[in-house]
Structure 1
């Protein structure tokens, strides 16, 4: 039986851009500490789980 992997989405609270783990292919928590929003440039700490 295939194991189901749950993918999350995170939204940038500054500009509203959505980080979708399924699209990006990388879990948000696995992004480096210096990851920034590709739209507005704020850090990882400015994203909230949807």
Structure 2
């Protein structure tokens, strides 16, 4: 999927992503409370997935440069 097909979402590529509220999505942990298995990359999360802490959309997250 092309980067611009994500309608302004963060750039593609693995890694951790941080929400403005401080929550960090880490593929090594997934999101077990929302049935997201370990190893799920951020860009592979469902389009309706939201921050478990503040409910912001994926588009509000930014990639953590490592």
The answer to whether the superposition gives a TM-score over 0.5 is yes
> What is the TM-score when the length of structure 2 is the normalising length?
0.61
Q: Quick check: which has more Rg, 1 or 2?
A: 1
Aligned-pair RMSD on alpha carbons?
1.5
Which consecutive segments of 4 or more residues in structure 1 shift more than 4 A? none
Larger fraction in strand: 1
> What is the TM-score when the length of structure 1 is the normalising length?
0.79
Count of residue correspondences: 44
Q: Which runs of 5+ in 2 are unaligned?
A: 1-13, 31-37
Higher RCO (CA 8 Å, separation ≥ 6 residues): 1
